[in-house]
Amino acid sequence: MPRRSKSLIEGLLDLFSTWPWYISLFLAPITYFSINLIVQSHTWGTVEIDINDPTSMTAYMAHFMGQLLLPLLQFALPALLILASIVSLINALSNQQRYERVIQSSEPAVLKTVDWEHFEQLVGEFFSREGYHVKPTPTGPDGGIDLRIERNGQLYLVQCKQWKYRKVPVSVVRELFGVVIAEGAAGGFIVTSGELTHDAHIFAKGKPIHIIDGETFHRFVRQREKAAVRFPPSPNTRPTTQVCPKCEGPMVKRIARRGPNRGESFWGCKRFPKCHGTRP
């Protein structure tokens, strides 16, 4: 998702708030007393200024800025750390509440009730609980990457698509694959609250791209501790949710009730009887 440019204070607050809340809170008094020690121990004295001497002017500016900035930083930086600690704690509690709401819901549509930013946080929370070190991407061009996650020294790139109505097209998968190759990452994940097109599934097959649609992601979140759920999905295996060859909608397992294949299972379009698409 595109992000607007942020000020230095906003950037520092964002950085500090990505840390666990107790780290920022622990660093706040240490920062205050460290800067206070520098201020108290430094003898500023006076600096003579000669407007015709660049060295004299530089020394005077450094002296002036030191006298002005250090006392300001002594209070501003710890205050920023405390504020970041509060933001981090609120975010952590909110993420847990949203995560628990998804766990308690029996419908994958619950993923479409959150906005894109909270969906990214939800995905980040999931990967964090799976043992990955999660790093949101910084402001600026990122090739569409929303999260960088690491585990066992391996880097994976994650795109989060909280699209309520559109299916994720093959162009998104191509873009992620290109960034994975360019950065030398071990693989990539596309996590969406909805569905992907049939072409997107076909392109990802055999590549180090893990596709997780809304239904699958919802199942992972709800059953992440159960052995029956395979995570991460192998990029070389068939998608767990089949795509209808006629309408590109989701499919479900059905049992034939009549005909030569009576009693055998097959994939049928979830929109039946409006759509009669099937797969063996």
| pLDDT more than 90, % of the chain | 29
Say if residue 185's pLDDT is above 70. yes
Please indicate whether residue 165 or residue 178 has the higher confidence score (pLDDT).
178
Say if residue 278's pLDDT is above 50. yes
Distances (CA, A) of 241 to 85, 109, 120, 212, 222: 41, 15, 22, 10, 17
Residue 80 and residue 12 in contact, taking contact as beta carbons nearer than 8 Å: yes
pLDDT at 127: 92
Residue 146 and residue 13 in contact, taking contact as beta carbons nearer than 8 Å: no
pLDDT at 59: 63
Q: In the predicted model, what is the mean pLDDT of residues 182-204?
A: 92
Asked if residue 54 has a cis previous peptide bond (ω within 30° of 0), the answer is no
Reported confidence tier of residue 36, pLDDT bands at 50, 70, 90: confident
Reported confidence tier of residue 74, pLDDT bands at 50, 70, 90: confident
User: Mean pLDDT score of the chain, rounded to an integer?
Assistant: 81
Q: How do strand 251-255 and strand 154-161 relate by DSSP bridges?
A: unpaired
Q: What are phi and psi of 211, to 5 degrees?
A: -100, 125
Please indicate whether residue 68 or residue 149 has the higher confidence score (pLDDT).
149
Say if residue 27's pLDDT is above 90. yes
pLDDT at 254: 83
Please indicate whether residue 188 or residue 4 has the higher confidence score (pLDDT).
188
Beta bridge partners, 255, equal: 265
pLDDT at 229: 47
Instruction: For residue range 98-124, list pLDDT tens digits in order.
Output: 888 888 888 888 898 888 888 998 999
Say if residue 143's pLDDT is above 60. no
pLDDT at 259: 78
Say if residue 226's pLDDT is above 60. no
Say if residue 3's pLDDT is above 90. no
Reported confidence tier of residue 239, pLDDT bands at 50, 70, 90: very low
Q: In the predicted model, what is the mean pLDDT of residues 58-81?
A: 78
pLDDT at 56: 64
Domains (ranges, CATH) in the chain? 8-104 (no CATH), 113-223 (3.40.1350.10), 242-280 (no CATH)
pLDDT at 83: 93
